[in-house]
Structure formats: C-alpha cells, structure tokens
Amino acid sequence: MIGEYNDNGVLEITGVGVAPSTGLRKGVVVNIEATLQSVTKAVEAAELMSGREVKDCYVGVAGANVEGINSRGVVAVTGKGREICQSDVERVIEAARAIVIPMDREVLHVIPQTFIVDDQKGIRDPLDMIGVRLEAEVHIITGSVTTAQNLVRCVNRAGFKADGLILQSLAASRAVLTPDEKELGCLLVDLGGGTTDVLMFSEGAPYFSASVGAGGAQVTNDLSIILNVPMDAAERIKRESGSCYLPHVEDGESIVVPGVGGRPPQEISRARVASVIQPRMEEIFRLVRDKVEQPGFWHRVKGGVVLTGGGALMPGAADLAYEVFGVPVRTGAPSSFGGLVDAYRNPAYSTAVGLVLLGAERSGGAPEPDSRGKALGGGQGVSGARGGNDKVKQSKARSDSTLRRLGDWLKEFF
C-alpha cells in the first residue's frame, strides 16, 4: 500500500499491490526466497499504480510468537516546582518498560494506557501537572527476534529498507476502529490467512493482545480434504460460494466441483460447503473468546466485536460471531482517506491502510510545501484467504522530476 500527501497536505492512498505470500506460514517466514519474491511483486504492482519509486517501508508482523504484557512504572517528579515535564513522562515509560523478557524476544511497542499522579488515577496526559510521584500503566508488545529478523531480511533482500516493525492488529485497529469503540472497550478480531490476531481496547488504549494459530487457510484445507479437490479449487469455492452460517444458505442451491485426475465434475449443494466452513470458523471464534476469557478480560468488551481481515468477507461471519460472542458484531473496513477509495475500502486491506497511517504519523505528519515530493507507501503480499498473512509495507518515495517539469511547462503555456 502506497500513500502520499496531496497539495493540501492530506494523506491519500495512491497505490495498492497484491501478491500471493507463498513463503509464509502462520505469520512466520518459512521460505526466504519465496517471501522476497512476493514482496517484490506486490511493491512493483503498487509502484506501477501510484507512479512512485519505493525506497523505505513499514512492515507488519503477526503470528503466535507475538505476546502482550501489561506493566507499571513509578518515578519521582524532578522538574522545577514539581511540575511534570516531558522527561518525567519518558522516564516513567522507560521504568514501566524495564521487565524481564527471554533473550530470544524483543520489545516491539510500549503503549501508554493511563497515568497516575499522586494516587490520582485515569490521567491521559500528565504534562504540566503538579505532583510528587508519577506512575504509568503501559501495554508492552513483544515478538520473536528471529522471526522479525527473517522478515526484515526478506524486505532488505528485495531491495527496500524497513523503517520499522508494527503489530498488524495494531495497524488494523488504526484503520477501522472509532474513538468511541476504543473508549467503551471493544475487541478487534483480524481474520487472516494463517493466523487470527486479537487486540482488545479498554478506556481508549490497548489492554490485551494475542494470536490464534488458525485462519482462512485452515478453512480452505478443510474444503480440500472433505470435497476431494485441489487447494486452488477449494480456495475458489470458498471465495465464490462459501458461507459460514447455514441459516443464510437457501435450500436447493448447488455448485459444480471440478474433478481430479480426469474424473468428471460433480454437483454438490451449497449447504454442504457451508457445513464444512461453519464448524471451523466457529472454532476460531471460540478460541478467540477463550484467549480473552482466560486472563479475565471479557467483562471489558462492552463496545462489541469488530471483524476485519479477508476472513471477515465470508458471508455470515458477523452472524456466526454474534452467536459465539453474545455481543454486537460488525465488519470493519478502512474509512475513506481519498485516493483509490474503491481499491482499499475492503476488510482485507485494513492492516495495509493502518500501516500507511501509522507510518505517516511516525514520519512527522504532512511535509512542508518545499518537500511535498515525498510520499508514504508500501507493498503487501496476500495469502490465500485474504491479506492476513500479508506482510504489508509502507514506504517513502520520490516523485518523477521530469514529469513535474513537463507539468509546470504545460501550465505556463496553456
């Protein structure tokens, strides 16, 4: 996904690239050569659409090796007149970050949840307040060092520089969740190809993150085995005729399944396809609920559940999720940010759009008028079911000076 600032300083999505991510399994690189080829193809497609050249990018990480921990730090306020300054905030977050993690893990994000000044809780921004003791509650997201290194290595070998690693569910939440949902407490369920990523918000900040090692690829695999068809045919059946909620399937509807090894095609009912898909999707939702209930966080989910990712496109997904979760469920797609609206307003691209937005924020927002030629962007590899095992990236790009000069010349004379 490539984004750039327009003449008014507004971020727009200008390029989208998709490629099958054959070198990834459950969010982890299993084949470096295949992954870097996927990265290259996706970025080239996005470059062609946007007319930009990609140099740097932001990379999404996901999978069962990503874990979230809540921590707290305490420091004494040292500013003049006991006034809390930026250095005090930085020190308390650093103190909260000082937790013991295994040598094979690294910290990806430290996200402040709330601050406490002299036992006064619920403070979002303690700057310029007067106090003696400052505490911070943070959510720390850690990931496997080797998994991250392999991913960055693929990106580097494809010819791009990784400016940062961002948790995919955090990026997706930036693109699809509203401030009210985050404040009330909601659960984001990112239904990917190889994994289902979960991020719970409470009082406006991430409170719990986890991953389930099952996704759309497992649904495709079930169809392939039970219907005795190849994986590519099972994927096509799932996308074109699949439903994960039997009450939505009308009696008498049928589809044609291709034969294997010279056998003739056969006709089966759509209800049979749904009877294969529904149990697996229901299992994924129940695993998600168990993940949140185990540490006792389910009571915080008051704002409902938001489904996103390619798996959320499955007909009946929201209705089945409502049966399992028992709270309001909606399907979340990125809001309109201008540019190629029709190309990216799709749950499968939530992570990609979120990476563009977070990357733009990290790079300091809209550029000055004299540096407007720069753009943000990225590429994405999409696995069978969606873009959930997608490794989605963003990048800064450089404008074509020849075209700009030609445009200036045309304006001058015409």
Residue 36 falls within a domain, yes or no?
no
Average pLDDT of the chain, as a whole number: 84
Residue 119 falls within a domain, yes or no?
yes
Residue 173 falls within a domain, yes or no?
no
Q: What percent of the chain has pLDDT over 70?
A: 88
Q: Assign residue 90 a region: left if phi > 0, alpha if psi is -120 to 50, beta otherwise?
A: alpha
| More confidently predicted of 261 and 185 | 185
Q: What is the pLDDT of residues 327-377, one digit of tens each?
A: 999 999 888 777 777 778 889 999 999 999 999 988 876 655 443 333 343
CATH of the domain at 109: 3.30.1490.110
Residue 127 falls within a domain, yes or no?
yes
Full-prediction pTM beyond 0.75? yes
Cβ proximity of 347 and 16 under 8 Å: no
Residue 90 falls within a domain, yes or no?
yes
Q: What percent of the chain has pLDDT over 90?
A: 50
Task: State the pLDDT at residue 343.
Answer: 78
Look-up of token digits 């940062």: 164
pLDDT, mean of residues 32-61:
91
pLDDT, mean of residues 282-297:
93
pLDDT, mean of residues 310-333:
92
Q: How far apart are the first and last CA of the chain?
A: 34
pLDDT, mean of residues 309-336:
91
E strand segments, 305-403: 305-308, 329-331, 375-376, 380-381, 391-392, 397-398
pLDDT, mean of residues 233-253:
88
Confidence tier at 249 by pLDDT (50, 70, 90): confident
Residue 104's identity, in one-letter code, is D
pLDDT score of 57 more than 60: yes
Confidence tier at 407 by pLDDT (50, 70, 90): low
- Answer positive or negative: Cα dihedral of 293, 331, 113, 72: positive
pLDDT score of 20 more than 80: yes
Task: State the pLDDT at residue 391.
Answer: 38
State residue 283 phi and psi, 5-degree precision: -65, -40
Residue 74 falls within a domain, yes or no?
yes
* Structural domain total, the chain: 1
Task: State the pLDDT at residue 134.
Answer: 94
Q: What angle do CA 94, 376, 308 make, to 5 degrees?
A: 75
Q: What is the pLDDT of residues 272-286, one digit of tens each?
A: 999 999 999 999 999
Range of the structural domain that residue 140 is part of = 67-145
pLDDT score of 85 more than 70: yes
pLDDT score of 21 more than 90: no
Residue 139 falls within a domain, yes or no?
yes
Confidence tier at 42 by pLDDT (50, 70, 90): very high
Nearest CA to 173 among 190, 161, 149, 194? 190
Residue 225 falls within a domain, yes or no?
no
